[in-house]
Structure 1
Amino acid sequence: MRKIILTFISILFISSMTMAQSGVEINDVNYKFKFSLPSGWSERVEE
């Protein structure tokens, strides 16, 4: 389980570095897994 979590975090980190302007989308067909974030997901919102 730990390897899966570390792999997911690594993929998320790498994809956020390479796709800084666009949204993040991770899709794994083998595990029927899809994870996506909009383009402004890392921006902090202050009211």
Structure 2
Amino acid sequence: MDQQKIEEMTKLLLQIEQELKETKQSLLSINESIDKYDKYAFLNVS
């Protein structure tokens, strides 16, 4: 495997890592929003 291929793969892996971090943060934000909504829904029901 030549140096150029290694650099390309490294770049792709770093890009994937960044996308995973962003996706995880988005999911956490969605989860927090759902939790807030659920709390209000629970209060309204009871």
- Is TM more than 0.5 here? no
With structure 1 as the length reference, what TM-score do the two structures score? 0.41
User: Which gives a bigger RCO, structure 1 or 2 (Cα 8 Å, sep 6+)?
Assistant: 1
Larger-Rg structure: 2
